[in-house]
Structure 1
Amino acid sequence: MAVISEYEEEAQAPEIIRAAAVAATITTAPDLVHEVKIEEAEEENDVEPHVPNSGNGLDGEKYSWTQTLSEVTVYVHMPLETKSKTVFCDIKKKHLMAGIKGQAPIVEGELSATVKPNDCFWSLEDGRTVSVLLTKCNQMEWWKNVIVGDPEINTSKVEPENSKLSDLDSDTRSTVEKMMYDQRQKAMGLPTSDEKEKHDVLKNFMSQHPEMDFSKTKIC
């Protein structure tokens, strides 16, 4: 059996320490990389919705858009002096594609919600913008975005024109106002109108029946 002197042990100590450090790095490196990837993914997903533009939509690099409860208008930014005969625009129930013939589409993708293709149309404005009008199937909701995966707006910040609300019948207007109120309440972490109504009903029932034990009752 070989005998290692104290001098040899001291000489080998730095090498042993370095080897242990390398081994530890090899063992923990995948975990560290995994943690970094998780943090990067969380940062990508933690994107705050944008404040809507004056038309309750959003201005983008390739296109801008506005909306009412019944329609969405997409303004596709085209090259200067574009001619209508060179434009192509394909509108399907859940898909939109627009651009210059023979070139890659400027806008293409799955729509945020379904539309009525027969009630949709497009036009070229000023030789630089293609205006695409999309008629919503569900005319009682606000779109967060036009193309799935594109930047979203905060629908709780949507502010329809008063003149548009006044054009609605009383039942539709009350429904729209309730929807807007509930969106604002949810954005602030507060109960919606339906939740408040349930809360009030239960609270009233509790006051009328003091003999009952409500200590374990949770009011949502």
Structure 2
Amino acid sequence: MANFDERSGVVPCKTEWGAWWQTLEEVYIEANTGSDISAKVVKCDIRPRHLKIVVYGEVLVDGDLCEAVQPDDSTWTIEDKRVLRVCLSKALATADHCWKSLLTDRYHVDPYTLDEMQKKLTLQRFQMENPGFDFSGATVTGNYQEGGPQFKH
């Protein structure tokens, strides 16, 4: 059976190099390099509170993360020789730890996208708490910024 994200889709935050999105447990980064790359030209330094990604000597991301991650459980891969994918394992993996930005000072989520991210994390939490039900097609209504969600299935 497909996982929750495959069934429900992702809520991305677009950036100049690609996009990032999150689940309850992880933050995903997808960097489109525009040229063929190999592991030899990528430097990805993942620390508990800092991330630095360099491709062909060009810094794509360098800064303090919005929240802490677990570096030993985080990975990066290259897909189709042109897409760098980074998977950061959140140190705090709960629905109330929805990242508002990738770094503390950059790649902030706009209010609408943040609301959609929070709704998705809530549905993912419901899915984990109720494994016999499929919440991938469910919706959450209401505004998280103003009073919280209301659940509809």
1:80 corresponding residue in structure 2: 35
1:98 corresponding residue in structure 2: 53
Equivalent position SS for 2:98: coil
Of the two, which has the highest radius of gyration? 1
One-letter amino acid matched to 1:73: Y
For the Cα contact (< 8 Å) 1:78–1:99, is it kept in 2?
A: no
For the Cα contact (< 8 Å) 1:56–1:66, is it kept in 2?
A: yes
One-letter amino acid matched to 1:57: P
Equivalent residue runs for 1:51-200 within 5 Å: 55-101=10-56, 103-140=57-94, 141-153=97-109, 154=111, 155-158=114-117, 159-160=119-120, 164-169=124-129, 184=143, 187-188=145-146, 190=147
Q: Distance in 2 between matches of 1:162 and 1:149?
A: 25
For the Cα contact (< 8 Å) 1:81–1:128, is it kept in 2?
A: yes
Task: Summarize deviations over 1:2-44 as a string: whole Å, max 9, x none.
Answer: xxxxxxxxxxxxxxxxxxxxxxxxxxxxxxxxxxxxxxxxxxx
Gaps (5+ residues) in structure 2? 1-8, 131-139
For the Cα contact (< 8 Å) 1:56–1:68, is it kept in 2?
A: no
Query: Displacement of 1:119 after TM fit?
Result: 0.4
Q: Distance in 2 between matches of 1:117 and 1:168?
A: 24
1:106 to 1:161, Cα distance in 2 relative to 1, 3 A? closer
One-letter amino acid matched to 2:27: V
Task: Summarize deviations over 1:154-195 as a string: whole Å, max 9, x none.
Answer: 33332317873454125xxxxxxxxx88x935x23x4x69xx
Query: Displacement of 1:55 after TM fit?
Result: 2.0
TM-score when normalising by structure 1:
0.50
Q: How many residues get paired?
A: 126
Gaps (5+ residues) in structure 1? 1-53, 171-179, 194-220
For the Cα contact (< 8 Å) 2:26–2:88, is it kept in 1?
A: yes
The answer to which structure has the higher helix fraction is: 1
Q: Distance in 1 between matches of 2:143 and 2:123?
A: 21
Percent identity, aligned pairs only, is 23
Task: Summarize deviations over 1:96-136 as a string: whole Å, max 9, x none.
Answer: 111225x1311111101000001000000111111000010
For the Cα contact (< 8 Å) 1:76–1:107, is it kept in 2?
A: no
RMSD value over aligned CA atoms?
2.7
TM-score when normalising by structure 2:
0.70
User: Taking CA–CA contacts closer than 8 Å with sequence separation of 6 or more, which of the two structures ends up with the larger relative contact order?
Assistant: 2
Query: Displacement of 1:146 after TM fit?
Result: 0.7
